Amino acid sequence: MHQAVALYYSAGAFLQSEALLRRLLELEPDNPDNWHQLVSVYLQQNKRRQALDQLVLAREKGVSFSEEDLVLLVDLHAVNKNPYRAADTLQRGIAAGEIKGDARSYRKLFDLWFMARENERAQKALQQAARLSGDTELYLYLAQLLIEQRDWQALHETMLAACDKQLEDRFVGRANVYLGISQLKLGDEAGARRSFLNATLITGANVQAGQWLEHMEAAPPTRDEARQIVGICYGSMDKQLEDKGQGLANTAVETASGEDVGFEVKDIRAQRIFYREYSMPLAELAEETRSLAVRMGVELVKAGGSVDGPVHIIAAKPLPEEGEPAWQLALPTAGSPRASGRYKVGSAPACRCATVKVEVEGGALLDQWLRFSQKVQDAGHQLTGERRIIIAQGPDNGVSLEFQLGIQ
């Protein structure tokens, strides 16, 4: 009968293989090969639910499992939309020594606990993954979670570990911002100032770092401070400040009579973005941006990219029909991420924009946007249709908003 199963399987006759294996399980219930072969036959037919039920039953009956079998059980719980059971199975397997407790396993455990909305367990798994791998990207995502929780001592220790070695240049800006936040919150203002100054020398985190320096009312940098990164979070040795043509050209706008109209004009460089579309009202999307952006950041890393700037809300189209996506919630990205499920990859084009920083006023956000749009047109500018809101984490865990309207 075993030979017949093998022949049917090799010929792709999986229904016949399934029937024979069911019979073999009745005759030889203690043979682990029968259990695992039946699971394989189910998977060949894309019967993931039956494959999961079969493995769960085998586990309950004490059938021997290899590490590969146990990892398959974890994956089947996940694809059957039960990340909690998947994470619990993986964690128990690691604890029992049945699954290697390496960085890859803990990174997977983080993803599963995060999907199950078990944030504390997810954080512990991420700490282990970062520690075992030394992966800077994982340390930075851990730092984001710790900032959300306002755990400044843990944040500081995380950044010390992240900056234990020379960083890739793409991580230096964010690393210095997070280090500076921890230093400031723990009372080291001089250290925080130096870290934020370092971050201003790197494209990507310079705006956020500047906001923290403004909040601190820090002294402006000396000539030497403005030329070189000094501190534990550094990239290329003695990195000099370079003009790469990526900065923002700011121009205060005045009327013909010289009156300041209350906004600036910036030349914004093109950016590659990782985004998801939403049809909810603007105020509601802005309210949920922090939690949505954390989840998006995790998906971005899983898709092969890394965060390269603050969160953007981008108007998807000028006048969407009812039910159509009105907004894109986007993260500027470095690397080459892939589209993943509801998350897409695209670009925000370069544009000349009228910009203004605004206070958050909840449901009045759309009204503020419309008033700003009218003010820009009253100043004689013609709009191009580009509409963006830049949302950055500001001092005291607050939020900083900047409106951007494309102009000709």
Query: Which of 87-101, 108-122, 270-284, 359-373 shows the lowest per-residue confidence on average (mean pLDDT)?
Result: 359-373
Predicted local confidence at residue 243, as pLDDT: 33
Question: Both tokens of residue 283?
Answer: 């105020």
Statement: residue 348 has pLDDT above 50: yes
Q: Minimal CA–CA distance to 233: which of 271, 263, 192?
A: 192
Query: Which of 6-20, 99-113, 297-311, 353-367 shows the lowest per-residue confidence on average (mean pLDDT)?
Result: 6-20
Is 134-216 CATH 1.10.1740.10?
Answer: no
Q: Which amino acid is at 259?
A: E
Cα angle vertex 37, ends 33, 41, to 5°? 175
Fold assignment, 2-124: 1.25.40
Helix, strand, or coil (residue 163): coil
Measured between alpha carbons, how far is 273 from 270 in angstroms, rounded to an integer? 10
Measured between alpha carbons, how far is 215 from 206 in angstroms, rounded to an integer? 14
Question: Both tokens of residue 182?
Answer: 């921890």
Predicted local confidence at residue 253, as pLDDT: 44
Statement: residue 163 has pLDDT above 70: yes
Predicted local confidence at residue 89, as pLDDT: 92
Its CATH class, for the domain covering 265-407, is: alpha beta
Residue 156: pLDDT band with limits 50, 70, 90: very high
First-to-final CA distance of the chain:
77
Measured between alpha carbons, how far is 53 from 91 in angstroms, rounded to an integer? 20
Question: Both tokens of residue 385?
Answer: 């249709």
Residue 93: pLDDT band with limits 50, 70, 90: very high
Note the pTM of the prediction, 2 decimals.
0.59
Helix, strand, or coil (residue 211): helix
Query: Which of 69-73, 103-107, 315-319, 404-408 shows the lowest per-residue confidence on average (mean pLDDT)?
Result: 315-319
Question: Both tokens of residue 95?
Answer: 């604890």
As a whole number, the mean pLDDT across the chain is: 79
Question: Both tokens of residue 383?
Answer: 């709009």
Segment 273-283 mean pLDDT? 85
Query: Which of 120-129, 360-369, 382-391 shows the lowest per-residue confidence on average (mean pLDDT)?
Result: 360-369
Statement: residue 363 has pLDDT above 60: no
Q: What Å distances lie between residue 231 and 68, 165, 302, CA to CA? A: 44, 12, 30
Statement: residue 178 has pLDDT above 80: yes
Q: Which residues contact 333 (CB under 8 A, 6 or more apart)?
A: 272, 273, 274, 300, 305, 306, 307, 308, 345
CATH 3.20.80.10 residue spans of the chain: 265-407
Q: Which amino acid is at 399?
A: V
Q: Is the dihedral of CA 145, 150, 156, 157 positive or negative?
A: negative
Question: Both tokens of residue 67?
Answer: 């590490």
Q: Which residues contact 274 (CB under 8 A, 6 or more apart)?
A: 296, 299, 300, 303, 305, 330, 331, 333, 337, 343, 344, 345
Predicted local confidence at residue 91, as pLDDT: 93
Tens digits of per-residue pLDDT, 243-272? 333 333 444 444 434 444 578 888 887 788
Statement: residue 180 has pLDDT above 70: yes
Helices 83-95, 119-133: axis angle to 10 degrees equals 50
Predicted local confidence at residue 250, as pLDDT: 45
CB atoms within 10 A of CB 287: 16
CATH 1.25.40.10 residue spans of the chain: 2-124, 134-216
Predicted local confidence at residue 159, as pLDDT: 92
Tens digits of per-residue pLDDT, 36-55? 677 777 777 778 888 888 88
Q: Which residue carries 């021997």 as its tokens?
A: 64
